[in-house]
A and B are shown apart, each in its own frame.
Chain A
Amino acid sequence: MSDLPLIQADRAVPPPATTTSRGGRGRRLRLLSRTDRVVITLMVLVPLLLVVGLVWLPALATVALSGTNWDGIGPLSEIDWVGARNYDDVVNNYPPFMPAVQNNLLWLAALFVVATPFGMFLAVLLDKELRGSRFYQTALYLPVVLSLALIGFVWQLIYSRDQGLLNAVLGGDTDWYGDPHVNIWAVLFAAGWRHVGYIMLLYLAGLKGVDPSLREAAAVDGSSEASTFFRVVFPVMRPINIIVLVVTVIESLRAFDLVWVINKGRNGLELLSALVTANVVGEASRIGFGSALATIMLVVSLVFITLYLFTVMREDRR
């Protein structure tokens, strides 16, 4: 909200004579030199162009393409409009769609209920300045840093049915990646492994910022460790909590890399993002159909984005 007056200021500046007749606000505006105005214009225009060009136009183009049957070949003039047929096909004539929606929800639930609280718990433990806490911190954060290709390889070594570590140690022959009832949990474990480290670091940074005098005051009042955390620290951390929540939601909607590395999001590992990629990117080039999937994903994301913006703006207004 804060840059809104600045834009108006920019427009109001050119006729200096008129501004003098105005009140205090006008006098403040006159302080903007030519350089200031150029800088402000650039600072507004450049991000605006970037956001419009890289986010809004592609998003709108996706929505428009979702009503066509374009296969990525030939000029745009040859595109045929097919109306809502792609959406009808997605829902009624595309078996991987429903499992993908279920898996995305399952992903969200698993991260929200297990991985995120666990990451927060680890952050609280590390905040106690245990001996070697830096080592734990690094070890837990490592999965977030590792490259995708490496992570895929590491888990392949562990989960492979015939040659994997897990089956060798347990002596079983569970088909960790191939059995559709098992593989989603195997992948969720791997995804949680990354997510825990991420949340842990984020939350730890927040905990370090909590004013120690608050805890001291709570301790003096005879509050236990647990109730200090839940009644004092946790409410103070509200902005961080919201970020952690948003990160968790985004991560579960965005989930893509692990399943793509494992089996391109097929056979029990369907995810919306993987279906979009399988249809749009690559030789298949079902651009229209893939855009319909992407639009559905966009709508789902918008719900969460709206909720987030709503909360943040209400916060600002306070």
Chain B
Amino acid sequence: MSRPRSQAEYLARLVPPSVAGLNRRSLLAGAAGTGALLGTGLLAGCGGSDSGSGSDSKTVSLGSNQSDPKPKDVIAKVMDGFKTSSGVQVNINTVDHNTFQENINNYLQGKPDDVFMWFAGYRMRFFAAKGLAGDVSDVWGKLSGYSDAFKKASTGDDGKQYFVPASYYPWAVFYRKSVWQQHGYQVPKTLDDLNTLGAQMKKDGLNPIAFADKDGWPAMGTFDILNLRINGYQFHIDLMAGKEAWTSDKVKKVFDTWAGLLPLHQPDALGRTWQEAAQSLQQKKSGMYLLGLFVAQQFNNDEQDDLDFFTFPEIDSTIGAKALDAPIDGYMMARKPKSEANAKKLLEYVGSKDAANIVVKSDPSTLVANNGADTSGYTALQKKAAELVGSATEIAQFLDRDTRPDFASTVIIPALQQFIKNPKDIGGLLTSVENQKKSIFTS
């Protein structure tokens, strides 16, 4: 009897490491490792980041979240341009986009790079208020070519600037020109037009509005635009800041309107990624799709000219249809950069039209924030997108950038998915959201 017993004990000792398998820690370590790997390509060409810590040194470090090959290449080109113009070397630390975003709290409280990439919005203002970001108001004194909307989006709660915008993209309703010409569709101007158009598309065998929310965030775009159209920009921002009640009739009307539109949306959205929804538009199975300009990534090069968009139609004539979501990406400065002079020089450069010109030349999928840039290289779609945002009266940043991240990810995402699953119980859902909001915003 001794053999099985010892065998068993031998196995018992083996269990813990094999049970461990793949856990969260190793998952995160893997993600961080991937980020580091992505970074090494660029870092290899640079010197050690700690080599010069004096104020008159010739280096400055940049924390970049642009980990996809194309944007990463654009950043490298912009930084080369900075080196040529100022003689200061930039050490770029590229981290995987999602990892960067998830670790931002630890990153900013540890030893952040002198300059780092981030987004405009609530979170930027929050970091500024917590003293985790440097004041760059004097850099703004030297910048030109920015509209007031961009300056406003770069300003913290204390009236100082903490952000330099670089690029942005609008959210709009995209469609294929060839499909619309074939069926003779017209761009809808009102909600009624949209409903009529949707009904017609259904008759023509199309799925009117492509829709996906497996990842949780795409439906935020629909909520944003409906709230902006029904209740206007100021209410939307106040709601995001926790100042308005989710149980109010105004919010209820947004969900009622959405529930009315849901039959026009692609069914079973909760199992679909935005890429799959975009492909249904690309394959001419869906008629239109409310998404960011990045939807173009899912189209082949020869189909880019066939892609067009319109801004979401007016719902309330007293509110109009001039506000929209157009998230702005840009740069911020750490609270205590190793070399503040170099960091500010870099921020001035990335906000200049020279840097913007480099971006325009290298990346057709984004719009540059500086209106002094030479935009003759824009595609027709980019030109139209820039006009749309230029004519916007107010620009929102997208739900998860306009409110607390804990509220957006742990309350709003499950709530919107619940609504999509069961659009009937709006009252109960909003009461639950309001209760959770109270708990989060008062903590």
A and B pair up: yes
Residues of A within 8 A of B (CB): 69, 71-74, 82, 85, 89, 93-96, 144, 147-148, 159-163, 173, 175-180, 183, 198, 202, 205-206, 208-211, 236-237, 239-240, 243, 246-247, 250-251, 254, 256-257, 260, 263-264, 266-267, 273, 277-279, 281-286, 288
Q: Evaluate whether A243 and B15 lie within 8 angstroms (CB atoms) in the complex, with A94-B436, A257-B27 already known.
A: yes
Q: Indicate if the CB atoms of B410 and A278 lie closer than 8 Å.
A: yes
CB-defined contacts of B245 to chain A, threshold 8 Å: none
State in angstroms the CA–CA spacing of A250 and B3 once bound together.
Answer: 27
State in angstroms the CA–CA spacing of A159 and B273 once bound together.
Answer: 12
Q: Indicate if the CB atoms of A239 and B417 lie closer than 8 Å.
A: no
Q: Indicate if the CB atoms of B23 and A254 lie closer than 8 Å.
A: yes
Interface of chain B residues 385 through 430 with chain A (CB within 8 A): 405-406, 409-410, 413-415, 417-418, 421
CB-defined contacts of B421 to chain A, threshold 8 Å: 180, 267
Give the most central of B270, B413, B418, B432: most A CB within 10 Å.
B270
CB-defined contacts of A243 to chain B, threshold 8 Å: 8, 11-12, 15
User: What residue of chain B has the Cβ atom nearest to residue A161's Cβ?
Assistant: B271
Q: Evaluate whether A95 and B215 lie within 8 angstroms (CB atoms) in the complex, with A178-B270, A206-B4, A281-B24 already known.
A: no
Check: B297 CB closer than 8 A to any chain A CB: no
Q: Evaluate whether A283 and B1 lie within 8 angstroms (CB atoms) in the complex, with A177-B214, A266-B413 already known.
A: no
Give the most central of A72, A162, A239, A278: most B CB within 10 Å.
A162
CB distance from A57 to the nearest CB of B (A): 16
Can you list 17 residue pairs at the A/B interface with Cβ under 8 Å? A89-B439, A162-B280, A175-B268, A178-B269, A180-B270, A183-B271, A206-B7, A240-B4, A240-B11, A243-B8, A246-B15, A247-B19, A251-B19, A264-B216, A279-B410, A284-B406, A286-B440
Q: Indicate if the CB atoms of A239 and B414 lie closer than 8 Å.
A: no
User: What residue of chain B has the Cβ atom nearest to residue A257's Cβ?
Assistant: B22
CB-defined contacts of B37 to chain A, threshold 8 Å: none
Give the most central of B9, B123, B214, B432: most A CB within 10 Å.
B214
State in angstroms the CA–CA spacing of A240 and B301 once bound together.
Answer: 60
State in angstroms the CA–CA spacing of A206 and B271 once bound together.
Answer: 41
Q: Indicate if the CB atoms of B268 and A178 lie closer than 8 Å.
A: yes
Q: Indicate if the CB atoms of B5 and A239 lie closer than 8 Å.
A: yes
Give the most central of A178, A208, A251, A285: most B CB within 10 Å.
A178
Contact with A along B255-280 (1 / 0, CB 8 A): 00000000000011111100010011
User: What residue of chain B has the Cβ atom nearest to residue A275's Cβ?
Assistant: B410
Q: Indicate if the CB atoms of A284 and B215 lie closer than 8 Å.
A: no
Q: Indicate if the CB atoms of B272 and A211 lie closer than 8 Å.
A: no
User: What residue of chain B has the Cβ atom nearest to residue A175's Cβ?
Assistant: B268
8 A-B pairs closest in CB distance:
A178-B271, A209-B7, A239-B8, A178-B270, A175-B268, A177-B271, A282-B102, A69-B443
Interface of B, helix, strand, loop or mixed by DSSP: helix
Give the most central of A74, A159, A198, A239: most B CB within 10 Å.
A239
CB-defined contacts of B12 to chain A, threshold 8 Å: 239, 243
Check: B132 CB closer than 8 A to any chain A CB: yes
Residues of B within 8 A of A (CB): 1, 3-5, 7-9, 11-12, 15, 18-19, 21-24, 27-28, 101-102, 104-106, 109, 123, 130, 132, 214-216, 267-272, 276, 279-280, 405-406, 409-410, 413-415, 417-418, 421, 432, 435-436, 439-440, 443
Given A73-B109, A178-B268, A178-B272, 13 further pairs, Cβ under 8 A: A74-B130, A93-B432, A161-B271, A180-B270, A202-B11, A239-B9, A243-B12, A257-B21, A257-B23, A263-B270, A264-B216, A283-B101, A283-B105
Candidates A96, A236, A256; contact of B4 at CB < 8 Å: A236
Candidates A94, A162, A266; contact of B417 at CB < 8 Å: A266
Q: Indicate if the CB atoms of B132 and A147 lie closer than 8 Å.
A: no
User: What residue of chain B has the Cβ atom nearest to residue A74's Cβ?
Assistant: B130
CB distance from A222 to the nearest CB of B (A): 22
State in angstroms the CA–CA spacing of A96 and B109 once bound together.
Answer: 31
User: What residue of chain A has the Cβ atom nearest to residue B34's Cβ?
Assistant: A149
State in angstroms the CA–CA spacing of A286 and B409 once bound together.
Answer: 11
CB distance from B278 to the nearest CB of A (A): 11
User: What residue of chain A has the Cβ atom nearest to residue B105's Cβ?
Assistant: A72
CB distance from A249 to the nearest CB of B (A): 10
Q: Indicate if the CB atoms of A82 and B413 lie closer than 8 Å.
A: no
Candidates B18, B272, B279; contact of A161 at CB < 8 Å: B272
State in angstroms the CA–CA spacing of A266 and B28 once bound together.
Answer: 19
State in angstroms the CA–CA spacing of A250 and B15 once bound together.
Answer: 11
Q: Indicate if the CB atoms of A162 and B27 lie closer than 8 Å.
A: no
CB distance from B430 to the nearest CB of A (A): 12
Q: Indicate if the CB atoms of B414 and A96 lie closer than 8 Å.
A: yes
CB distance from B411 to the nearest CB of A (A): 9
User: What residue of chain B has the Cβ atom nearest to residue A202's Cβ?
Assistant: B11
User: What residue of chain A has the Cβ atom nearest to residue B443's Cβ?
Assistant: A69
CB distance from A185 to the nearest CB of B (A): 13
CB-defined contacts of B109 to chain A, threshold 8 Å: 73
User: What residue of chain B has the Cβ atom nearest to residue A151's Cβ?
Assistant: B22
State in angstroms the CA–CA spacing of A72 and B106 once bound together.
Answer: 8
Q: Indicate if the CB atoms of A240 and B8 lie closer than 8 Å.
A: yes
State in angstroms the CA–CA spacing of A71 and B104 once bound together.
Answer: 13
Candidates B9, B102, B432; contact of A283 at CB < 8 Å: B102
Q: Indicate if the CB atoms of B24 and A283 lie closer than 8 Å.
A: no
Q: Indicate if the CB atoms of B105 and A285 lie closer than 8 Å.
A: yes
Q: Indicate if the CB atoms of A209 and B15 lie closer than 8 Å.
A: no
Q: Indicate if the CB atoms of B270 and A210 lie closer than 8 Å.
A: no
CB distance from B62 to the nearest CB of A (A): 20
Give the most central of A163, A175, A282: most B CB within 10 Å.
A282
State in angstroms the CA–CA spacing of A183 and B267 once bound together.
Answer: 16
State in angstroms the CA–CA spacing of A288 and B406 once bound together.
Answer: 12
